Structure 1
Amino acid sequence: MLTFLLDNIGTIVVLLIVVAVVAAIIISHFRAKKKGKSSCGGCGCGCASCAMAGKCHSNNHK
């Protein structure tokens, strides 16, 4: 087992970095959604110019 780890340490490190980056992106996305931020770009100018403006948000905000 130790031989396997030592032989593949570079691949394992790269894999851990990729997993960490993907996890950070997913966590960031869910935090932004929880704060009510839009996923339609992020320019701060609303979704009026977004092609998916009618699909992106429900009109049932409370």
Structure 2
Amino acid sequence: MIVQWFTENLGTILISLGLLLLVAAAVSVLWWDKKRGRKSCGGNCGACGACQGCHGAKSPGK
């Protein structure tokens, strides 16, 4: 009974495990980059919507 269920769902199980491994790899890379002090942004501040949050607002006249 369990073997039959396993063989019927083998494709779903394998694809789910593959997706889980991809997500775990992505989270691992992000975690290691943060631990090493690397930034996750691309460095193009002109195109960034959160630029003021990273670098702070500049006062006019300075």
Alignment of 1:1-62 (within 5 A): 1-41=2-42, 46=43, 48-49=45-46, 50-56=48-54
Report how many residues are paired. Answer: 54
TM-score by length of 1: 0.71
Sequence identity (%): 34
Hey, which of these two has a bigger chunk of helix by percent?
A: 2
The structure showing larger relative contact order (alpha-carbon pairs under 8 Å, at least 6 residues apart) is 1
RMSD: 2.1
- Offset at 1:24? 0.1
User: Separation in 2 of the partners of 1:54 and 1:14?
Assistant: 41
TM-score by length of 2: 0.71
Structure 1 unpaired stretches of 5+: 58-62
